[in-house]
Amino acid sequence: MAWARNILRVNLTKGTCANEPLNMDWAQKYLGQRGLATKYLVEETDPKVDPLSPDNKMIMATGPLTGTCASTAGRYSVITKGALTGAIACSNSGGYFGNEMKNAGYDMIIIEGKSKKPVYLFIEDDKAELLDASAYWGTSCWDTEEGIKAKHQDPQIRVASIGISGEVGVKFACIVNDMHRAAGRSGVGTVMGSKNLKAVAIRGSLGVKVNDPEKFFAATAAGKAVLSENPVTGQGLPAFGTQVLMNVINESGALPTRNSTEVQFEGANSISAEAMAEARQGDGKANLLTTAACFGCTIGCGRISTVERSHYTVAERPEYQIASGGLEYEAAWALGAATGVDDINALTFANFICNEQGFDPISFGATVGAAMEMYETGVISDKETGGIELKFGSAKALTDLAELTGKGEGFGAEIGLGSKRLCEKYGKPELSMAVKGQEFPAYDSRSIQGMGLTYATSNRGACHLRSYTVSSEILGIPEKTDPTASEGKAGLVMAFQDATGAVDSSGLCLFTTFAWSLDDIAPQIDAACEGDWTAERLVEVGERVWNLERMYNIRAGFTGADDTLPKRLLKDAAKTGPAEGKVNELGKMLPEYYELRGWTADGVPSNETLERVAL
Amino acid sequence: MLKSLQIDPEKCTGCLQCELACSYENEGVFNPSKSRIKVFNFHEQGRMVPYTCTQCDDAWCMSACPVDAISVDAETGAKVVSDAACVGCKVCTIACPFGTINYNASSGKVIKCDLCGGDPKCVSACPTDAITYVDANWTGIDKMRNWAAKTDSGSQAEA
């Protein structure tokens, strides 16, 4: 129940698709999705594998709740060794694809090897086959999704695909499903491209069952009531989307600006939720067209927007005079504040290109920001950029580079390396605002101390979605802590990491945790799944998953020395705002964190700890 | 009082909770592909539109059925398919101008909305009130009220 108890194993080298039963002992230990797929990856691959080698595997995984009526229960994740980072990667996506996969009867799809020629995986319930994708290779995610639906004469097929960026090896390529939802970070799309797998297309009609329907309906109804009554999930996110944060974070002096040279952006209001809803001067309409929910979601934070038709990006190009997903906060920050661009139409257009060609707007925008700093300081010039005047604040440079990066052409191919490789190439590694090769997102850790430890210790490289202490430090959820203080943050980060590990393994969206604690989530899992699932047991699962990922990274060659931040955040104090004069105090937090985790002073889980978490 | 489903696409977020509820009520599993109500997503226009049977008074499906498998539920006015009588000929699916009665290959019968016997599960599942179950004689009452409010404030503004 809840689990389909079934895995599809696809070997691209041999061209085979075979079913096998899910290991239910592991399901009881790792729940599903992020945790369970990581267990499979750890058992089946060498952590030292080249991410782009056929020996790396890529696992698409649902959680036990995926496909049920629990609010937000449509998630799936892609677990692999990340092309951007060389670390464990786990990218989570919404939309409708996860439900379709579960309804076709699969908890996981394990993809192995490499196809000789481009193929796509086509699944109709228990029928799975690899089909020729030559018609779609060299086209966008949008054309691929529409093309596959048209070819099979079935508009109800759900598609997850890579765009050209994933084919040509842009290191932060995504897997895009349902036109604008993405397994976005760490280059999971790059891994998919390296396997010559263009898309996974699914039509599922088998249905999803739960263990105790009566208890499940009661628990999910109670959960939905909590979400609708909560000010963040019931009002803020539905009304403004994640962009509700733009002005809040800027006022907190925590909006990394122009490659983190500053912590507040004078153009923040122009790229905020409020700006998206404002009538444009030209046509009197707002960029924001409507809100959109993912499968099963009763919050509905998604935004659907348009670019003003007279804007230079779309004026001559009717194919972009359409609606698509965005802007979300992280993308708006990366494309905007990180580059100093305050033209909301340019940001919306660049975000469309990220959706269309499948690449991560966070890593893209942050890398453009780093390149802009190198351009302004004379490290690179028009010669390297191919004539693009790469100044901070240039909307034209941003949108031109989005199009070039989407296709891996010109200087876009260099942006596609990600900031770490790009800055190293030009002898300025310190200008890459990244941890373990992954660009950090939209919170400056000088002003939100916990986020520094979050980025430094995140197993998939810098990321806000591994321990979103912004909740506590800025929003006061579940209780307010001082964002400028580092005391107590080690424990806070650890608690968020463990809870998140459980949520990411369940099929639910992390955004529910603005309102839900594990006490709200446990009864839903308990009613759906065999076994007794309490909040305490979910924390155990989360801690186990965290240590499992950590051990993978250690075996891949990472050490405690990689748990660090760019020097800028440790040495150059915030110039303005509430945290003026502060740097991130990682050095104070990290030893305490290791100790709380039961890790050695070098950041290695001790034998006792591994035993305690049953690894 | 006869009631009918009222759909307001402007309020729909595309979450498919209606499809989940409908499929569970009718199939005993969460299975949107077997839902009697469907939400259509017009991506490039940013529109989500739920659609299902409107329970025509003079129903094409009912008239077309050669074995009288479709009858009227006297209490709700719903046109209801009898699985015992349905032979799966699909003539009703051709007759219906709206496409809201469909063949279900796994049962060999047709399926359509039956208003859940007067307690439509899509309505209680919808988190945004995009689907409501209202007085059949006054399905326009909310729109009337909204326009009445605008008309009234207009006249006050002039005065």
**Nearest CA distance, A525 vs chain B (angstrom):** 16
User: Residue A612: which residues within 8 A CB-CB, separation 6 or more?
Assistant: A598
* pLDDT on residue A282: 85
Q: How confident is the model at residue A281 (pLDDT cuts 50, 70, 90)?
A: confident
The pLDDT, as a whole number, for residue B159 is 45
> Mean pLDDT over all residues of chain A?
98
Which class for A152: exposed (0-12), middle (13-18), buried (19 or more C-beta within 10 A)? middle
Does the beta carbon of A233 lie under 8 angstroms from any beta carbon of chain B? no
Contact between chains at B32 and A209 (C-beta distance less than 8 A): no
Question: From the CA of B58, how many Å to the nearest CA of chain A?
Answer: 30
Q: What does the pLDDT read at residue A582?
A: 98
Cα B62 to Cα A609: distance, rounded to the nearest angstrom: 68
Distance of CA A159 to the CA centre of its chain: 18
- Count the Cβ atoms, other than its own, within 10 Å of residue A510: 18
Three-class SS state of B109:
strand
Q: CB-based contact (8 Å) between B127 and chain A?
A: yes
Per-residue pLDDT, B156 = 55
What is the pTM assigned to this prediction?
A: 0.97
**CB < 8 Å to A324, chain B:** 43-44
* B102 interfacial to chain A (CB closer than 8 Å): no
Strands A108-112 and A197-203, sheet pairing:
unpaired
DSSP for A246-314? Answer: HHHHHHTT---BTTTTBS--TTGGGGSHHHHHSBPTTTS-BSEEEEE--TT-SS--EEEE---TTSTTT
Asked if residue A227 lies in contact with residue A512, where contact means CB atoms within 8 angstroms, the answer is yes
| Cβ atoms of residues A68 and B30 within 8 Å | yes
Band (pLDDT 50/70/90 cuts) for residue A245 is very high
Q: State the average pLDDT over residues A388-415.
A: 98
For the purposes of burial, counting CB atoms within 10 Å of the CB of A536, is it exposed (0-12), middle (13-18) or buried (19 or more)? exposed
pLDDT at A79 over 50: yes
**DSSP code of B76?**
T
Judged by CB atoms closer than 8 Å, whether chains meet at B30 and A68 is answered as yes
Mean pLDDT of the A353-379 span? 98
Integer CA distances (angstroms), A483 to A2, A173, A446, A569, in order = 39, 32, 9, 15
Provide mean pLDDT across the span A217-245: 97
- Determine the residue among B20, B39, B103 to mutate to test chain A binding: the one whose Cβ has the most chain A Cβ atoms within 10 Å: B20
Q: First vs last Cα of chain A: how many Å apart? A: 26
Q: Mean pLDDT, consecutive 10-residue segments, chain B of 159 residues?
A: 94 98 97 97 93 97 98 97 98 98 96 98 97 94 90 60
Each residue of A116-127: pLDDT tens digit? 999 999 999 999
Mean pLDDT of A230-255: 97
- B139 to chain A, any CB pair closer than 8 A? The answer is no
Residues of chain A neighbouring B127 (CB-CB closer than 8 A) = 71, 224, 228, 298, 300
φ, ψ dihedrals at B134, nearest 5°:
-130, 170
Q: DSSP 3-state assignment of B98? A: coil
Residue B51 forms contact with A (CB below 8 Å): no
pLDDT for B154 equals 58
Query: Which residues 171-230 of A have a C-beta within 8 angstroms of B?
Result: 179-180, 203-210, 213, 224, 228
Cβ count within 10 A of residue A134? 10
Phi, psi dihedral angles at B72 (to 5 degrees): -95, 130
pLDDT of residue B153: 67
Question: What number of other Cβ atoms are within 10 A of residue B64's Cβ?
Answer: 17
Q: How does pLDDT run across A569-606, given as a tens digit for each residue?
A: 999 999 999 999 999 999 999 999 999 999 999 999 99
Give mean pLDDT, residues A358-376.
98
Please give the ipTM for the structure prediction: 0.95
